[in-house]
Structure 1
Amino acid sequence: MKPARVEARDLGVQLGGRAVLRGVSCLLQPGWTAIVGPNGAGKSTLLRTLAGLLPPQQGDVEVDAQSVSRMPARDRARRIAWLAQSSAVTGDLTARETVALGRLAHLGLFAAPTRADEDAVDAAMRATECEAWAHRRLQALSGGERQRVLLARALATGAPVLLLDEPTTHLDPPHQVALARLMRHLAATHTLVSVLHDLTLALRADRVLVLRDGLLQADGAPGDAGLHAALEASFGHAIRIDASRGGRPVALPRLDD
C-alpha cells in the first residue's frame, strides 16, 4: 500500500449560517495525527471535510495532489476510510458481514469476494480482536464490541488514509489501550487522523492539532511546549499538561485553583 499525503488548504465551512471552520490549513502525512479541542471547536466537521463528506464553502482538500471533491466516489472509498462517531447499525448483518462491507469499493455491489478480500476481512477482525463474535448479529453486540467491528470495517478497505471520529467511544479501558496500540501500529503504514476527547491518549500520537472556535490554534509534536500552552488555553485552563514525569506528557484536571 502506497503511503498517502493529505493537504487541507484554507478550509472554510458554514453550517446553519454559522462559521464552523475558518481558514484551516494542515498537511497530513503518514503517521498518527490527533485532533483535539473543546466541544463545538469544529473537530468532527474538519474530519468530515477531509473525508469528502462535507464540501467546504472555501478552500480544498487534496489526497496525493488530487482534489477530494473531484475524485470519483469509488476511488475516494479506496483511498479514504471513515469511521463516524456514531455509526448506524443496519439490518441483521453479522459482524463478519459488516466488516466485509469495507471491501465494496474493490468489488462493486455484485461481484463475489476473492481470497484476497476474505484475507483482508480476516486481518481486520484479528487486528481489532473481534473474531470471537464473527457470526453474531451486529445488533446483539455491546456498544464496545460494535465499535470494534465498525473499526474493522474501516481497516478492511485497505485505504491508506484512516479518518476516525472518536474511535474510543463505548470502549472500556483495556480496549482503549488496545486501540491506542493498534493506532500506533497502523501509523507506520497509514495516514491516520483521529478526533479524540481523551487528551492524554491524544498526546500519544505523533502530532496533535488543536482547534478552538473553528480556528487552528496549534499544530505540533506532543512534547512541544507551545502545543501544551495552546491546549491549556483552548480548554480555559481547566487542564494542565504535565511533562515532568519523563516519557510522554499527560493532561491533568486543574483542581487546585
Structure 2
Amino acid sequence: MPRFDDQTVLVTGGTGGQGSSHVRAFHAEGANVVIGAIDAERGAALADELGTRARFTHLDVTDESSWSAAVLAAESTFGALHVLVNNAGVQNPPAPIEKTDQATWSRILDVNLTGTFLGIKVTAPALRRAAGGAIVNIASTMGLGGTAHYAPYVASKWAVRGLTHTAALELGRDHIRVNTIHPGVIATPFIQEPAAGATAAIADFYSPEPFAIPRLGEPADVTRLLLFLASSDASFITGSEYVIDGGLLLGPALQAETG
C-alpha cells in the first residue's frame, strides 16, 4: 500500500526544482497534494499534469493570511491536512556583509525564516485536527557553517534549525513531528542559476570532484529522505537534522596512490 494513502500534503515552493520533485513523489505514493507557490501558471500546470488528488493554491509564505487560505484549501478540498513541507526559499545575491543592504537581508529572512515560522504556526492546528502529522523544514548545509558572501541566507537557515527544535518540543505531545533536512549542492535552477541581482550561481563555487560522492545531488535524493521523514516509518523521530550533501561537509576526499 502506498505510504500516504488518505493523507494530504502541502508543499511550499511546490513548482521549483526540489518542490516539484517532492510534489510528484508524494502524489505517486498516494497522497493528496496541495501545491503552494506564487507562480500560478506553473502551479496550475503541475496540478493539471497530476490530475486527481492535486490542487494548486497561491501561497505567499511571508503572509499569514495567505497561509490560512492554503490550509483552508487543503481541508475544504481533501478533508484534512497531515504533512507540511516547508520547502520555499530564496537566495541573496552574493555580497560581503558590509555591502549587503538591509532590504536584501529582510527579504531573505522573511521568506526563509518567517515563512517557515508562519507555516508551523498556521498549520499546527490543522495537523492537530487530523490527530497528528509531520512537518519537514528544508534548510541547507549553509545552516551548519559559515559561507562568505551569503550572510542573509546562512543566518536564515541557521535560525530554521532552532525553530525546528522548539517546534518539535512544543508539538510532540500532539503527535506532530518536526524535522529538518539540510541539502548540499543539488542540481536545480536554485543552485545552477544566479539569484536575482547576481551574476554567478552557487554551483559556480562548488566542484563536486572533491566530495566523497563526486557528483551534484539530484532532487530525488532529497525527496527520498523527505518521504521517509514524513511517513509513519519515522514515527519516533522528531527534532532531528539530516544532512544530504554527498560528503561536502566532510572535507576533500584525498585519494592516496596505490600499487
TM above 0.5, yes or no, is: no
Q: Which has the higher strand share?
A: 1
> Which structure is higher in helix share?
2
